[in-house]
């Protein structure tokens, strides 16, 4: 039983690592089912939760749905309003926060999380 759980979790992690589309749990479930046909969506959710707690993956929630990301180094995201795609944006030098200014206002900053929204390069290419 324990071993089976470990294999399931490893596969879910491998599936997530193999893509950069920031998939939903449903998408991951469809992929994992090809290898483990009798796995349930609930099992996928449960394992995603454990992987998140272990710090191996991150969860992005836009208020409507959760998307998952196996890339855990600091980076930002761009969400396309047209296709719903989520893209990684390297944070280097893109945004700097004036922490002192925020501290003046009474806020102590630990972290910064940014989701850009707009139209992605793929959708812009289609339009033009
Ligand atoms: Zn798009
Ligand atoms: Zn990402």
Domain ranges of the chain: 2-69, 75-127
CATH of domain 75-127: 3.30.1490.190
Q: Give the bridge partners for 78, in sequence order.
A: 87, 116
Question: Could you tell me the distance, in angstroms and rounded to a whole number, from the CA of residue 2 to the centre of ligand 2?
Answer: 30
pLDDT attached to residue 64: 80
pTM of the model: 0.82
What is the distance in A from the centroid of ligand 1 to the CA of 7? 34
Say what the pLDDT of residue 98 is. Answer: 81
Instruction: Quote the pLDDT of residue 127.
Output: 57
Strands of 75-80's sheet in order across: 86-90, 75-80, 115-118
pLDDT for 123 equals 95
Question: Which residues lie near ion ligand 2 (Cβ < 5 Å)?
Answer: 69, 71, 88
The pLDDT value given to residue 2: 60
What is the reported pLDDT for 24?
Answer: 96
Question: What is the predicted pLDDT for the residue at 65?
Answer: 86
Mean pLDDT of residues grouped by 10 in the chain (128 residues)?
A: 78 97 97 96 97 95 88 92 93 76 90 88 81
Pairwise CA distance, residues 99 & 62, whole Å: 25
Hey, which CATH number is domain 2-69, 1.10.10.10, 3.40.50.10890, 3.50.50.60, 3.40.50.300? 1.10.10.10
Helix-helix angle 25-33:2-17, to 10 degrees: 110
Listed in order, strand segments (DSSP E) in 23-74 are 58-61, 66-69
């Amino acid at each position: 039983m324990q071993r089976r759980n470990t294999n399931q979790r490893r596969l879910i992690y491998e599936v997530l690592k193999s893509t950069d589309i920031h998939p939903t749990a449903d998408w991951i479930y469809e992929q994992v089912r090809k290898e483990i046909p009798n796995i349930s969506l609930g099992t996928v959710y449960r394992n995603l939760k454990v992987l998140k707690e272990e710090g191996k993956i991150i969860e992005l929630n836009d208020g409507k749905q959760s998307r998952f990301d196996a890339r855990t180094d600091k980076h930002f995201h761009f969400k396309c309003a047209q296709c719903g795609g989520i893209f990684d944006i390297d944070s280097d030098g893109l945004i700097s926060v004036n922490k002192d200014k925020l501290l003046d206002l009474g806020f102590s900053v630990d972290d910064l999380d940014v989701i850009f929204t707009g139209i992605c390069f793929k959708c812009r290419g289609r339009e033009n």
